[in-house]
Amino acid sequence: MTEAIDGLTAGSLTALILGPLILALVAVALPRRRLIDSAVMLLALLLLALLLPLSRAVLTHGPLVMDLGGHDAPIAIPLYVDSLALGMLWLLTLLALAIHPYASAWLQRSDHPHADDYPALWLVLWTGLNSLVLSGDLFNLYVMLEVTTLGAVSLVMLGQSAGAVSAAARYLFFALVGSVLFLLGTALVYADIGLLYMPMIAVHADASPAIVVALLAITAGVAMKAALFPLHAWLPIAHASAPTPASAVLSAAVATAGVYLLLRLWLGPFAGTWTITTAQGIGVIGAAGILYGSAQALRQQRIKVIVAYSTVAQLGYLLLLVPLAQSPLAWQGAVYHAVTHGLAKAGIFLAAGNLILAIGNDRLENLSGADQFAAKNLLVIGIAGAAVAGLPPTGGFIAKWWLLSAALGQGQWWWVAVIAVGSLLAAAYVFRILQYAMRQPENRAEIDPRVRDQSLPYALLWPPALLAALALGLGFSGELLAPFLQVTDLSPALGGTGR
């Protein structure tokens, strides 16, 4: 498997994991904010540049496996890259590029007391997310899950208020139980078939009782961490009470990574344990999440809570991949949805952060007249919101179109209804925000924004605009990118490469 790995690929994978880590260590040792900020930008640009040849390599060779430490399977820990992982890596790197400068400027501008703590925490979290996406070893995933959890909980805790810290504590305890369950699953797999190397687990795993219980434990564990629908209770509070740039990281990157991991495990090492009923069951959970999250989002009065509930809903679409996994279109759609949603969601949060700087809070009723003083940010919310809702011509439309086609192609028309209703509700909650913003205040003098768009520093304006533009741009590049999203080896997605 390693024959396809050339020096450049090996270097890129190393840089993706160790680059942010080494920078984080530098940030701890030398807390110079300017220096670190520019270094993060440079690193993000470098990693983007490295992702190009990496994508090309995956396109030509199919999934790549790099065994760390120069050892052979199955004792080595492998890094594994396929189109699904590649999509996540693009998303994470783009988010790093856009969110970090914004976060730095935002925290400085709002005189946030944790401004010094943020860079190192984010960089370690970035390491964790990249390694989580790349890891091909079950036990290593447990360690990486802990890194992402501690990083994400810390970001929530930076919200400072008693509400934020108690949300962080709630999140942490959910996550701790989740880790223990994941560890239980890992231990059962190892005790039963003596493997942790995921590309090989799919070959050796059958539907023995230990494997089935391991699958259940791992699913429950990751679902608690990723806040999948019935276990979502901590997510809206936590995401809404974190500092706004951190909310963007949590909703766009951390939550997506959790669902990514579930799909990876379900359709990879555990692909052999599925039946039609259980696959449909996962789809039903996803559909319930879509409907519940959207309905809750419609009832909220704070922008950040609306967007957080929208995350609960949008993650549900990714679960629809499980019942539709036989169709390549569904894979394309899921990856495209994850990327578009991540970019658009981050864009909305960043724009909402600017509104908070302007009006002091994020309550809908205080938005009146925002079209006068925050037109650019509202435009971002509109475009990114359209992408979340899946309206043409955004990337969200392409993603949902592919998912719809996959559902129709396999005659599973009931998912079509769910996707359509979910999009409609999403459009409703996005335009509800805009509607409040367009409302004219009764008294013109009441409009007293602390900050107008024009006076915001450049670093607070371009990141949300870039993210919305990317989410929009993906709508025009579907055909171009489709070959990169091809899953060459459908079922099992990971296992096919096992020796």
Partner 1 sequence: MTPIVFPVTAALLFAIGLYGVLTRARLIQRLLAVNLMASAIFLFLIVTSTGGPHGPDPVPQAMVLTGIVVALSTMAYALVLIRHLRVLTRAETLESIVDD
Partner 2 sequence: MLPVFDTMLCLGLLWLGWGIVASTTLFRGVVLFMVFGLLMAVTWVRLSAPDVALAEAVIGAGIAGALLLGACKAMLSDPGTPAEQGGPEPAALPRLPAAALSLLVGAALAWLMVTVRGGGPVPEAVAIALPTHFLHNPVSVILLDLRGYDTLMETVVLLLAFLGARAMMRHSELDPLFTPVATHRHYTMPLITLLTPILLLLALHILWTGGNAPGGAFQAGALLAALGVMYQLTGHLRPSRESGPGVRALLVCGLLVFSLFACLGLTWGDAPLTYPRGAGYVSALVVEIALMLSIGTTLTLLFAAHPGLKPDLRQ
- 127 or 423: whose CB is closer to partner 2? 127
* Among the listed residues 22, 46, 68, 184, the single contact to partner 1 using CB under 8 A: 184
Give the residue ranges of DSSP H helices in 162-320.
162-193, 198-204, 209-226, 234-241, 244-249, 255-267, 276-299, 303-319
Judged by beta carbon distances under 5 to 8 A according to partner kind, the member of partner 1, partner 2, none in contact with residue 349 is none
Rounded to a whole number of angstroms, the minimum distance from the CB of residue 192 to partner 2 is 5
Residue with tokens 């992408």: 387
At residue 158, φ and ψ (nearest 5 deg) are -60, -15
Is there a cis peptide before residue 492, judged by omega within 30 degrees of 0? Answer: yes
Min separation Cβ 184 and partner 2, Å? 8
What's the first-to-final CA gap in the chain, in angstroms?
9
Shortest distance in whole angstroms from residue 165 CB to partner 1: 5
* Binding residues for partner 2 (CB under 8 A): 2, 5, 7, 10-11, 13-14, 18, 21-22, 25, 28-29, 31, 66-72, 74-77, 113-114, 117, 120-121, 124-125, 127-128, 131, 139-140, 143-144, 146-147, 150-151, 153-154, 157-158, 160, 184, 188, 190-197, 200, 204, 208-210, 213
Distances (CA, A) of 460 to 36, 256, 356, 377: 18, 24, 12, 10
Q: Applying CB under 8 A, which of residues 51, 84, 120, 153 lies at the interface with partner 1?
A: 153
Report the partner that residue 55 touches, choosing among partner 1, partner 2, none (CB closer than 5 to 8 A by kind): none
Q: Which of 18, 191, 375, 424 is close enough to bind partner 1 by CB under 8 A?
A: 191
Q: DSSP character for 253?
A: I
Taking the least distance from each CB to partner 2, the nearer of 85 and 380 is 85
Measured CA distances, 293 to 258, 282, 305, 317 (Å)? 17, 16, 11, 11
As to burial, measured by CB atoms within 10 angstroms (0-12 exposed, 13-18 middle, 19+ buried), residue 358 is buried
Q: Which two tokens stand for residue 303?
A: 């922008």
CB of 137 to partner 2, least distance (A): 8
**Shortest CB 30 distance to partner 2, Å:** 8
- Cβ 171 to partner 2, closest distance in Å? 12
Residue 237 contacts partner 1 per CB under 8 A: yes
Four-residue CA torsion sign, 22, 92, 466, 481: positive
Which of 197, 373 has the CB closer to partner 2? Answer: 197
Q: Give the whole-angstrom CA distance, residue 484 versus residue 189.
A: 32
Is the Cβ of residue 164 or residue 348 nearer to partner 1 in the bound state?
164
Cα separation of 129 and 120, whole Å?
A: 14
Judge contact between 406 and 329, C-beta under 8 A. yes
Positions in the binding site for partner 1 (CB under 8 A): 75, 139, 142-143, 146, 149-150, 153, 157, 162-163, 165-166, 168-170, 172-173, 176-177, 179-180, 183-184, 186-187, 190-191, 196, 237
